[in-house]
């Protein structure tokens, strides 16, 4: 009975050692590739995210500049013909639209600036630091 238990124990230990060896081979061959793919993915993701935020800031500025220009030149613009001559709206509709566009531009700019980050730069310059922080935040 004792010999039978010893044989089963030795078989279990032998299979465990083989399994650990297989896991070690897998980790040494696959982990560098997985880390490289994760760094590439997150680097490009955060870079594109920042570009979209910057485009939103620029677009909101251009919207406000366009609407302000239209309000200042209302006698010669399309707004004057549609709003003032046809008496479709109030006399200060151009000013109202300009103020609303300014509010939209301000909100879009604040939200975009709040979401801007330099994680893509950290991934590019110090990838090991980013990996350690990513693992820490994941746990």
Q: pLDDT tens digits for 87-104?
A: 544 455 666 766 777 788
Tokens of 61: 């500025």
The number of distinct structural domains making up the chain is 1
Share of the chain above pLDDT 90, in %: 1
Residue 51: domain span:
31-138
Q: Span 32-37, mean pLDDT?
A: 86
The answer to whether residue 61 sits within a structural domain is yes
In the predicted structure, residue 31 carries a pLDDT above the cut 70: yes
Q: How far apart are the first and last CA of the chain?
A: 45
28, 43, 45, 81, 122 from 49: Cα distances, Å: 33, 10, 6, 40, 15
The answer to whether residue 69 sits within a structural domain is yes
The answer to whether residue 73 sits within a structural domain is yes
Top pLDDT among 80 and 114 is at 114
The answer to whether residue 7 sits within a structural domain is no
The answer to whether residue 16 sits within a structural domain is no
Is pTM beyond 0.75? Reply is: no
The answer to whether residue 25 sits within a structural domain is no
């Amino acid at each position: 009975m004792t010999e039978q238990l010893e044989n089963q124990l030795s078989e279990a230990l032998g299979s465990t050692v083989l399994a650990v060896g297989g896991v070690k081979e897998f980790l040494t061959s696959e982990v560098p590739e997985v880390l490289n793919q994760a760094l590439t993915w997150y680097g490009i993701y955060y870079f594109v995210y920042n570009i979209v935020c910057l485009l939103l800031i620029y677009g909101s500025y251009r919207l406000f500049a366009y609407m302000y220009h239209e309000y200042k030149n209302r006698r010669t613009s399309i707004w004057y013909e549609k709003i003032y001559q046809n008496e479709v709206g109030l006399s200060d509709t151009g000013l109202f639209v300009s103020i609303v566009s300014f509010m939209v531009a301000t909100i879009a700019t604040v939200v975009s600036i709040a979401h801007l980050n330099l994680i893509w730069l950290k991934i590019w310059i110090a990838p090991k630091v980013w990996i350690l922080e990513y693992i820490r935040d994941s746990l």
